[in-house]
Amino acid sequence: MLTLPGALTAYIALLAVVHLRVLLPPEVDNWIIDVFAFIPKRYDSTLLQIHFPGGAGAKVWTFVTYSLLHANLSHLGFNVLWLLPFGSALARRFGPMRFFVFMAVTAAAGALAHLVTHEHAIAPMIGASASVSGTMAAALRFAFVQGSFLSFRRGDAEAAARVPALSLLGSLRNTRVLGFLAVWFGINIIFGMGSIAIGADGQSVAWQAHIGGFLAGLLLFSLFDPIPRAPRHAADASSWDEQGRV
């Protein structure tokens, strides 16, 4: 943890502290879930005389707060494990304030995607997977550039996180990025990964939220990125590495 950026360490510590809620009495834990988890049914305008804890405020804050809650240690650990490489690079690149806002925005995008596809669902959704997916997508914009953390020629962690990023179009032309996208979307659509909805049947994967967070991270990356864009002639990161390996 001492080698991680301070912003990422603080985020992981926050997730761990919030997870201590499982040590509370069950009725208190259930109240926390009801007030801070994302419940699509809360936004159903057809409901009459049904009260959800948290009132009108919960309709706003649960777009983000659900991402701080986890069902169990394995759920939390799985999200943290995926967050370490991608979130570390992003936290170094963005700095603390941009990083925290980015995590909130991608969480909200994941919740919106879940709401659109589960309009009448009563099961609460929890988990940081939408934000984790957002960090993976954002990191793809610079991860394969020469000198970055997924390229064949890597520098130190700070330098690797600050290489000029590819444009969105340039990213979608990069064969390594396309390969990563194909695998990531395939896994999420077929199996689902990470987020858990607590309902009568136990657990189900909110894979649509992952896709919402991922797309937000990919498309909104430039709004958060403080590093100047790479020159047009340097946009093909894949060719740099391949030439270096021949």
Residue of 179 and 190 predicted with greater confidence: 179
Per the listing, tokens 């962690």 go with: 157
Q: Flag whether pLDDT at 51 surpasses 80.
A: no
Residue 246: in which H helix or E strand, if any? none
pLDDT of residue 1: 46
Q: Give the model confidence (pLDDT) of 127-170 as tens digits.
A: 999 999 999 999 989 888 877 766 655 556 777 777 888 889 98
Q: How far is the C-alpha of 213 from the C-alpha of 83, rounded, in Å?
A: 13
Q: How far is the C-alpha of 24 from the C-alpha of 117, rounded, in Å?
A: 32
Q: Does the reported pTM lie above 0.85?
A: no
Q: Give the model confidence (pLDDT) of 202-235 as tens digits.
A: 456 678 899 999 999 999 999 999 988 755 544 4
Residue 128: in which H helix or E strand, if any? none
Give the Cβ contact number of residue 11 at 10 Å.
23
Q: Give the model confidence (pLDDT) of 5-40 as tens digits.
A: 999 999 999 999 999 999 999 999 999 999 999 999
pLDDT above 70 covers what percent of the chain? 80
pLDDT above 90 covers what percent of the chain? 52
Give the Cβ contact number of residue 6 at 10 Å.
12
Q: How far is the C-alpha of 37 from the C-alpha of 206, rounded, in Å?
A: 13
Contact 164, 222 (CB under 8 A): no
